[in-house]
Every structure is written in C-alpha cells, then in structure tokens.
Structure 1
Amino acid sequence: MKRIQFLQGAAVALLCMAASSASLAQGYPNKPIRLIVPFPAGGATDLFARTLGQKMGEKLGTQLIIDNKPGAGGAIGSDQAAKAPADGYTLLLATTSTHSIGPAVVPKLPYDTVRDFTPIAHVGDAPSIMLVPVDSPAKSVREWIAYAQKNPGKLNYASSGNGTIVQLTAELFKSQAGVFVTHIPYKGTALAIPDLISGKVDVLFDSLPTGMPHVRDGRLRALGVTTPKRSPLAPELPPIADTLPGFESNTWFGFYGPKGLPADIVARVNKAANEALADPEVKEKLSRLGIEPAAAGTPEQFARMVAADAAKWKRIVVERKITNE
C-alpha cells in the first residue's frame, strides 16, 4: 500500500513539474533576459553579443541585457550562468575558450561543460589567419612548411599566452605539418605584432579582423586562413587545409542555458538566434567584427560540434603537453 502511495505521489510530482515547465515556457519571455558575456566589455565577444542580442530581442519581444562577467578565461561568467535558475532569463554566450579549450587546459573548472549546461544555438565563427613578416622567404603555406623543415628549432611562433586558442592553433599546425617551432608567449597578440613585423617572430596565427589591416597596409604577409573553405571575410586567402587536409581552427560562439532548460524555451531562443543571424544588417555588422554568422542549426547539432571541437583540442593539449601556466 505504501509503495502504491509513493508511486502515486511521485507521478503527481512529475505531472506538476511538467505543468510548471509548460506554463513557464508558454509565457516566455515576459521580462528582460540577462545574457552573460564572460569577457570584458568592448571586446569581440561583447560586441558580438550586443549586435546579435539587439536583433534577438526584437524577435523575442523583449530586451537582452548584456552582463559582462570577465575573469579566469571566461570561467567566472560561465560558472554564474551554470548556477542560474533554468527559467530562460539567464543565458550565456560561450566560446571556444570556455567550452572547448578550458576543460582541457584548466585542471579544475567550477563547472562541467556538458552536465551543467543546455546547448541552444551555434551563432558564429571567427577565423584566424597565418601571418608572417613581409620579408619571409615563404609566400605560401607549403613553402613555409618546407622552410621550417629545413630549419628545425630555428624558427619561432608568437601567441597570446599559454593555453590560448592562438597557441593551440599553432601547435595543431605543427602537429599536422611535422615541424619544430619554438613558442614565444605574449600578453595578447597586439604586443606580438611589432615583433612579427620586425622579423623577431617568424609566424603568428592571429584573428582575421586584427591581422588583416596589417596585411592590407603591406606590413605583414598572410599565407592562409584557418577555415576549411575560403572565408567571405578574406576571399583572397586560401585555406590552410588546402595544404594540410583537415586543418581547422575557429573561435566559435554559441548560446547556452543552465541545465534543465525547458525544451520549448530552448526552441524559442534557437529560432530567434537563427532569424537574427539571417538579417542582412546583422550580417553586415558581424562582417565588420570579423565574424561569420553560423548557418541555421539545431541545439543537437551545436552540441555535436562542440563535442568534436573539444575532443580535438584535448588531443592537442595532451599530445603537445600544453598548460595554461
């Protein structure tokens, strides 16, 4: 008898939870949505959030309020998002750093990137380009690899610091090309650019929007782009993958909610994101930021993409013995 009463009580509780979730989703959204950006105001991720967030707000019929929570490579803001109520009023704009690289290079993240979040939408990618000094003997990716193979240990590459996407991209390149190039970490690629221009550094994998102005001014040479195909943001550059099949490195951007976010809310935010990304004005603004809008996709596709990306970077971190120290 007690067992029957327990089962009946559990069934009622589940029905109440389902009804509560459905009710929550039905009235969503009826107030502003907090969008946590785990990086400083004024940076590429922040500007992307504000550009896309404004149009998404129009689609959802509410305002997306940007809340910058920088620190610890994005871990502080991501952790706050993970611990927020699963009601759809706190979202996270995550990146490669927070959900692909972070778990591989940070020993003890305060969150689990799979267990503690609900994937919603892949919204954009920022490609990088391979930069060398203008007087480099290499005028193509193939020539640079041959040059490095003839000079093992004599060449170096700059990065924005240990455990960053810039370092990992270079290490991925080294792994696939079979070359030995010494790492020189800087506190940001902006500090490395002068040394690259002067020839003190031999190569840098920098983001397209910060690197291309130096190329177009004739101060640096770009050998290729890190996307699998030519980027519409710099169509003149061939993909590195033309020389190293399968090579790819992007900084992706995507929306997550806390774990347990109702499916109806996930669907609404996903739809709003995809519709906003299709807007010509948003596309034009993102192009100026050096970001390619993601193709319309499902939360499941986004989750699979991130899982594959995280596995790739974990392999490189382990293989190349990379740390964030």
Structure 2
Amino acid sequence: MQVPFKPWLLAVGLLPAALTAWAQPSKFTEPVTLTVGYVPGGASDNAARIVAKALSREIGVPVIVENKPGGGGRIAAADLKNTKKGRNVLMLGNPAVTVIAPIVFSDLNYNPQTDFKPVALVTDYSFALGVPASSKVESVEQFVEWAKANPKQLNIGVPATGSLPHFFGLMLADKLGLKPEIVGYKGSSQLLTDLAGGNIPVAIDTLDTFLPMAKSGKVKVLGVSSDQRDAGLPDVPPFHEAGIDIRATGWNAVFAPASMDDDVVTYLGDAISKAMGDATVQNEIRSVNLVPVQANAAQTRKAIDAFRQQWEPVVRASGFKVNK
C-alpha cells in the first residue's frame, strides 16, 4: 500500500500561526459555549480554555467551556449535530471524532461532513517513536536495523487500538516495509509505564505525551513525525531527517453545527484566526505542548480535506472496526 505522506498543513498553504488582518463588529450579544468531549485537564480541554479566553476578547461576549466526556468525544459530537439553529454552540474536535470515527464505527449517529461546519484550526501535534531508556537503540536508523533483524520482537505499543498513534504506526511500518504487532493499551499512562519498564520494546504516541518521561530520562524518543524539530526535544530529529519520507500531524479544530449560518461561521473563523495570531496566545498553547495554528474557515476546510486524503486510506486498509 502506497500512501501520499504529505504534510497536510503545508499542502494547503498553512503554517504555524502567522497573523492576518481582521476587523469586524461582533455578531454576538449572548455567551458562546465551546464544548469539549473530554474530561477537564487533558490536552483538548487545555487548548479549549486557551482558545475560549482568546475568542471572548475578539467577539466581546463570554465563551464558556463545557466538558461533555464520553465515547472518545463522540457524545459531544452527537450533541453538536442536534444543536438548534440560533444557539451559540461550538465544539473543539479532533481527527479521531471527525475523520476516523465515521470509518471504524458502523453505528455512528452523526456525519461530520454534513452535520458540522469547520470553523478554525487552532493547534496541531506530532507523533513520536520511543524506546525504553535501557534500550541499546539510540536512533531511528538503529531502530530500523533492529526491527528488520528482529521481526518477531517488533511489538509496537499504542495508547489505544483505533487511535491516531495506532494508524500512524501503520503508516510508518508501511513506509519501512515492516509488519509489526500493534499492541493497544488502555491509555497513554499504562503504555509509557510499560515502555519505561522495558515490558514493550517500542511505543508510538503523541509527542506531548512522551515529553515528561523523556525529559526525566525514563524513555528515549528517537524520532518525530513533524516537519521540523520540536522545541521540547530539540535533539530529536524528524523522521525525514533520517531519510524516511513521512510527515503527519494531528490537530484540534473548532467546529460549528450545520445549522449555523455560513456568515457566522466565517466571522468566527476570522475571529479565532486573529486570536491565534497573538503572541501571548501562541505561548499559552506551546506551554501545554501543542503547536499553535492559524487558519480561517475556508483554510480549515481545505486542511481537513487534505488530512482525510492522507489518513483515510490507511484506516480503511487496516480493516479496523469497532464491534459493539
């Protein structure tokens, strides 16, 4: 299987946040609700609270974050679908909910492409390949050598089957001609504990998840999926620096219900884009180990379409389905 491993943000002309001009009178007189399909304190929740505060300054009304955890974000997505026209409700969503779920769940009760309107990308994040600190493998090149020499030992842990790290692992394996055993865990905490203890030889997760243990010396991060090195681990190269032509990132984006008028979606996209160009907001996003991205509604639609073109073939080829 050959998949076009192109950097989806660059493919549509987007880069980490760069300011564009925007100035419009507010279309809102009542508070806006920004729902998050996860518990407080996680990466999505942190990003939502930063974006909500910044958006509130732009549109002149409170933006209230409401957590609706459950179903891996799908409960919040279903609620967004059912939002009645005239209600000021948005959702911070990610690829698992808006791109992957429609492929792997046969009974999904929403269609992201018809029930939601993309408003604005706000962050992206990369994936990383890690090994135990005790491993003799010190680089991506050495990992490839080890993996090809020890195919029966190539068990790659991921935080959950059906997660983005799972499918990125398949992307990477396909690119390298490897056939690993993907081992799904019940969350990143258990995965990294097992990795640090040497109970699994390799793990793939989001880079921000690896950072605490990598900085404390409990695990080694060998490579990242982004186009550039990450400020959190500047000594770790992107895979392409090791000669592996693969670039892939996940993201968080604001979505509106299909019932929201297009002019309001455009207005909100412009407002969020302007907010994401603020240096203070960018620093707040980086402080939670995410990368700020600036994109209006039209750019966000194109970026999500490019992401779907890159990832959907991998997900479908995997044959992964959630059986209930």
Normalised TM-score (structure 1) = 0.86
8 Å CA contact 1:118–1:258 kept in 2: the answer is: yes
Alignment of 1:43-192 (within 5 A): 43-87=42-86, 89-192=88-191
Residue 305 of structure 2 is matched in structure 1 by 307
- Work out whether 1:226 is the aligned partner of 2:252: no
Alpha-carbon distance, 1:299 to partner: 1.6
Residue 213 of structure 2 is matched in structure 1 by 214
- Work out whether 1:35 is the aligned partner of 2:49: no
Secondary structure of residue in 2 paired with 1:231? coil
Residue 297 of structure 1 is matched in structure 2 by 295
What is the rounded CA distance, in whole Å, between the counterparts of 2:245 and 2:84 in structure 1? 40
What is the rounded CA distance, in whole Å, between the counterparts of 1:230 and 1:144 in structure 2? 19
- The one-letter code matched in structure 2 to 1:318 is R
Residue 19 of structure 2 is matched in structure 1 by none
Q: Any unmatched runs of 5+ in structure 1?
A: 1-24
| CA separation of 1:73 and 1:244: change in aligned 2, threshold 3 A | farther
Secondary structure of residue in 1 paired with 2:252? strand
What is the rounded CA distance, in whole Å, between the counterparts of 1:194 and 1:34 in structure 2? 36
| CA separation of 1:46 and 1:149: change in aligned 2, threshold 3 A | same
Structure 1 stretches (4+) deviating beyond 3 angstroms? 243-246
8 Å CA contact 2:273–2:296 kept in 1: the answer is: no
| CA separation of 1:234 and 1:272: change in aligned 2, threshold 3 A | farther
Residue 16 of structure 2 is matched in structure 1 by none
What is the rounded CA distance, in whole Å, between the counterparts of 2:50 and 2:251 in structure 1? 16
Q: From the two aligned structures, give the one with the greater helix fraction.
A: 1
Alpha-carbon distance, 1:153 to partner: 2.3
Greater relative contact order (Cα < 8 A, sep 6+): 2
What is the rounded CA distance, in whole Å, between the counterparts of 1:240 and 1:56 in structure 2? 35
What is the rounded CA distance, in whole Å, between the counterparts of 1:310 and 1:143 in structure 2? 31
Query: Could you list the per-position Cα deviations for residues 161-183 of structure 1 after superposition, in whole angstroms to 9, with x for gaps in the alignment?
Result: 21011211211111111112212
Residue 22 of structure 1 is matched in structure 2 by none
What is the rounded CA distance, in whole Å, between the counterparts of 2:87 and 2:139 in structure 1? 48
Alpha-carbon distance, 1:260 to partner: 4.4
Alpha-carbon distance, 1:139 to partner: 1.7
Residue 205 of structure 1 is matched in structure 2 by 204
| CA separation of 1:104 and 1:311: change in aligned 2, threshold 3 A | farther
Alpha-carbon distance, 1:85 to partner: 2.5
8 Å CA contact 1:120–1:299 kept in 2: the answer is: yes
8 Å CA contact 1:86–1:257 kept in 2: the answer is: no
Query: Could you list the per-position Cα deviations for residues 83-105 of structure 1 after superposition, in whole angstroms to 9, with x for gaps in the alignment?
Result: 21243601111111111211222
What is the rounded CA distance, in whole Å, between the counterparts of 2:117 and 2:315 in structure 1? 25
Stretch of structure 1 that moved more, 236-245 or 109-118: 236-245
Residue 239 of structure 2 is matched in structure 1 by 240
Alpha-carbon distance, 1:250 to partner: 2.2
Q: Any unmatched runs of 5+ in structure 2?
A: 1-23
- The one-letter code matched in structure 2 to 1:57 is S
8 Å CA contact 2:83–2:259 kept in 1: the answer is: no
Alpha-carbon distance, 1:262 to partner: 2.1
Secondary structure of residue in 2 paired with 1:153? helix
Larger radius of gyration: 1
Say what the alpha-carbon RMSD is for the aligned residues. Answer: 1.9
8 Å CA contact 1:99–1:310 kept in 2: the answer is: no
Secondary structure of residue in 1 paired with 2:100? helix
* Percent identity for Structure 1 against Structure 2: 25
8 Å CA contact 2:84–2:259 kept in 1: the answer is: no
What is the rounded CA distance, in whole Å, between the counterparts of 1:178 and 1:103 in structure 2? 28
Query: Could you list the per-position Cα deviations for residues 24-63 of structure 1 after superposition, in whole angstroms to 9, with x for gaps in the alignment?
Result: x987201000111111122110111011111110111001
- The one-letter code matched in structure 2 to 1:37 is V
What is the rounded CA distance, in whole Å, between the counterparts of 1:222 and 1:124 in structure 2? 22
Secondary structure of residue in 2 paired with 1:232? coil
